[in-house]
């Protein structure tokens, strides 16, 4: 259990650092960094398939695509979504949108609860319902004060579509991710090929070493997260997942962004909602542990 918690926290810390890392890669643009990150991530995703004994799932998905070619459209749409979200994640910190994207990641767990209820009739506990009410209140106040949410905050919500597709088509596993990220390879090569790396080195002499480090950080974070998901109960894994958005907010402060007074109500409501979700997760985890002990006894 402790090993799984350590893996999850390390993964969140590494993903949080990658959020900041794009600032060190200037003057590369978001799509340039995306190209290199995808190229470096693919070997790690394939390694994870074999390391965590998911080869049979990879073969199974490929056979499903062969027998039902339209399934590739689901993989392609998910590939496009993760490609866009990876680009946004890398682009935001160096373009003044770090807090906006962090806000989107704070909203995402609540959006996922709603999506689960609407599409899969999942149960919403009282605490989750109250959390959604507070988040909705925060968004409503923000719209009244500022006129709406940032497009970058809203764009993170596309991840909800991604997870719906994964669950709907039963492609929610490591092997599926390996296929999705591999489908981005032609675009990644195109982006990377457009970069005049010698010109970039004039401005940033350490760029090659930093790009290699980006690949190592991305791959290591991915492996740590998968390892944690294989060890920890899903409730505990979900709770630890809240570490990353708070890391992202911290990074936003480091790069010089500040929360405006107009968005205070929204952040306060969202933070309270997150605390309710965490509390709900702790209660469910305790119930699950109690049930397991009763079964063992």
| pLDDT tens, position by position, 203-255 | 999 998 998 898 888 888 888 888 887 777 666 666 777 788 888 988 999 98
Average pLDDT, the chain: 87
| pLDDT tens, position by position, 163-195 | 889 889 988 888 999 999 999 999 999 999 999
| pLDDT tens, position by position, 125-166 | 888 888 888 888 988 888 888 777 889 999 998 988 998 898
Cis bond before residue 27 (omega within 30° of 0): yes
Whole-prediction pTM: 0.87
Q: Can you read off the two tokens belonging to residue 221? A: 């974070």
Spatial separation of the C-alpha atoms in residues 266 and 285, rounded to whole Å: 28
Give every CB contact of residue 107 below 8 A, 6+ residues apart in sequence: 135, 139, 153, 156, 157, 270
| pLDDT tens, position by position, 63-115 | 999 999 999 999 999 999 999 999 999 999 988 899 899 888 888 888 888 88
Mark 4-41 as b/e (b = at least 16 C-beta within 10 Å). bbebbebbbebbbebbbbbeebeebbbbbbbbbbbbbb
Report whether 108 contacts 160 (CB < 8 A).
Answer: yes
């Amino acid at each position: 259990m402790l090993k799984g918690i350590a893996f999850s926290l390390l993964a969140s810390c590494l993903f949080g650092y990658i959020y900041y890392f794009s600032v060190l890669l200037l003057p590369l643009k978001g799509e340039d960094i995306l190209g290199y990150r995808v190229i470096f991530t693919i070997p790690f995703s394939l390694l994870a398939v074999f390391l965590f004994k998911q080869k049979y799932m990879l073969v199974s998905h490929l056979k499903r695509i062969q027998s039902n070619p339209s399934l590739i459209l689901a993989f392609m749409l998910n590939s496009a979504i993760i490609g866009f979200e990876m680009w946004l994640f890398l682009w935001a910190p160096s373009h003044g949108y770090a807090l906006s994207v962090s806000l989107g990641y704070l909203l995402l767990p609540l959006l996922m609860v709603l999506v689960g209820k609407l599409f899969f009739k999942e149960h919403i506990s009282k605490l989750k319902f109250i959390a959604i009410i507070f988040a909705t209140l925060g968004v409503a106040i923000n719209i009244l004060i500022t006129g709406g949410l940032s497009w970058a905050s809203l764009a993170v919500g596309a991840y909800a579509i991604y997870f719906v597709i994964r669950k709907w088509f039963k492609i929610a596993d490591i092997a599926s991710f390996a296929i999705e990220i591999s489908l981005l390879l032609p675009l990644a090569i195109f982006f990377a090929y457009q970069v005049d790396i010698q010109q970039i080195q004039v401005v940033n002499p350490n760029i090659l070493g930093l790009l290699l480090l980006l690949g190592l950080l991305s791959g290591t974070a991915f492996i740590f997260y998968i390892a944690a998901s294989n060890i920890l109960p899903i409730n505990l894994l979900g709770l630890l997942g809240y570490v990353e958005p708070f890391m992202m907010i911290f990074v936003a402060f480091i790069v010089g962004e500040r929360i405006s007074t107009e968005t205070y109500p929204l952040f306060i409501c969202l933070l309270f909602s997150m605390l309710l979700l965490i509390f709900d997760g702790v209660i469910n985890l305790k119930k699950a542990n109690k049930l397991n002990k009763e079964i063992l006894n």
